[in-house]
Amino acid sequence: MLGCKVEGSPPVQVSWRKNGAELPEDTHTTLLANGSLLIHHLRLEQGESPSDEGDYECVAQNRFGLLVSRKARIQVASHPVMGIYGISPALRLFGFLPLPLFPTWSPKSIILSSNCDKN
């Protein structure tokens, strides 16, 4: 979703441009009541099918004038898919796993556990 919050009196008409051309209304995108543009499913260029990648601008206008937002670029990052003959592909997941910390203190080489009861 690309945000574009506008207010004005008289009411403001909002539209969007992609790569400088007015974005047509279709079932692939929805112009929300607050001016934001919702892209339902990001499309990549495949044959004749257009891609959603590009520079987007929000255009707001009423009888007093027209304002155009700064450009927001949608660019899909991808990695090349490579395979090695005879080896089946595997999926590796990397992430952050928070681990509990158990501090210890060892004056004069005597280890005191952090789980000691205070009774």
pLDDT-flagged residues of the chain (< 50)? 93-95, 97
Domains of the chain: 13-74 (2.60.40.10)
pLDDT for 88 = 52
Overall pTM surpassing 0.75 (yes/no): no
pLDDT for 102 = 52
pLDDT for 44 = 79
CB-based contact 2:58 (threshold 8 Å): yes
How many Å apart are CA 54 and CA 56, to the nearest integer? 6
pLDDT for 74 = 87
pLDDT for 76 = 76
pLDDT for 20 = 95
